[in-house]
Amino acid sequence: MKLFEPYNLGTLTLKNRIVMAPMTRCRALNNIPNALMATYYAQRASAGLLITEGTSPSPNGLGYARIPGIYSEQQLEGWKKVTEAVHEENGKIFIQLMHTGRVSHPDNMPDGTTIIAPSAVPLDGEMYTDQNGMQAYPLAKEMDLQDIETAKNEYVQAAKNAIEAGFDGVELHGANGYLIDQFINPITNKRNDSHGGSIPNRNRFPLEVAKAVAEAIGADRTGIRLSPYGAFNGMGSFEGIDEAYSELTQGLSDLGLVYLHVVDHSALGAPEVPQQTKATMRKAFSGTFILSGGYDKERAETDLESGKGDLVAFGRPLLANPDLTKRLEEDLQLNEPDQNTFYTADENGYTDYSFV
């Protein structure tokens, strides 16, 4: 079966086409990766490629409680333990760089930080904080051009830090309503300068970040995740969406990025990404195309065989089944994920799922 065949991703040889999707797990106490996290990722290293949980490139990007960063020396040292543990199991691992932008709360951020976004557009709803429970989202500060340049440089430095920490590459989180996505979508980007208004202007920040990161660490170690039609964090469809993503995909392909990872959360109740949109992006992107969204073994194999993608990302099945590769190969029963422990702070529902 194609799903279990090796695959060449840039200069890396993956042992199969199973990808561990990035999943926020909130185990990084004080925003520092730890030994528990090293165990968690190493347990799942039989997948062809692991992509970490969203990791902030700067203090301003720490939107959620207990998510990791990769901007301090302590964080680098913590991540080194993770990459070493994964590599000892002959695994490959990319870090996902996630600046949350307006999706944040001061209780989840260090002193002296600022919640920033392309525009000061309110976000309805509440966010969990360890200190005070659920809190309403504050209004973000609109980024000026210097803020934009600073944020871009933070992504670049974080990518360099990731390579220093032993990662095989970096995934830029351009999906799910976080900072890069906030620039793409006119729901959150109301600017009338070089980074807003037209499609090329709204695509400018993601392309600038991708170009700068690729130049810093190599395009063959740089991927990106996008979520056309995504509705998470107050996002939604917009006029010209297919044109916008087609142009963005072509620009990313021209940069030589190693992969494009497309989010489709329709299995979780979000709007479905039209197959034609995925097909257009697939055609425009010359690198590896990663599918994701509610896959099982049969559907993954069907879509790989038909050429809809090159790799398939699994989220919750890999969370609950650290040995998912073996279970799928041998058609063994799968553990069910425990949603009550998705974002808690200890090993329960994290490193205690059973192996066969």
User: β-strand 288-292 against 311-314: which pairing, if any?
Assistant: parallel
Instruction: Retrieve residue 3's tokens.
Output: 């799903």
According to DSSP H, which parts of the chain are helical?
35-43, 73-88, 145-164, 179-184, 199-202, 204-217, 241-254, 275-284, 297-305, 316-320, 324-329
According to DSSP H, which parts of 19-144 are helical?
35-43, 73-88
Instruction: Retrieve residue 129's tokens.
Output: 């904080």
**Residue in the block written with tokens 């000061």:** 120
User: β-strand 126-129 against 133-136: which pairing, if any?
Assistant: antiparallel
User: Beta-carbon neighbour count of residue 268 at 10 Å?
Assistant: 11
DSSP code, position 60: G
| φ/ψ (deg, to 5) at 305 | -65, -35
Q: Which residue in the list 41, 64, 155, 178 is annotated as catalytic? A: 178
Extended beta strands in 200-309, E state? 222-226, 259-262, 288-292
Contact in structure between 175 and 106 (CB atoms under 8 Å): no
Q: Is 155 an annotated catalytic residue? A: no
DSSP code, position 287: S
CA dihedral of 299, 303, 304, 305, whole degrees rounded to 10: 100
End-to-end CA distance of the chain: 21
CA distance 164 to 158: 10
DSSP code, position 190: -
**Residue in the block written with tokens 């490139």:** 57
| φ/ψ (deg, to 5) at 314 | -120, 135
Residues with a known catalytic role: 178
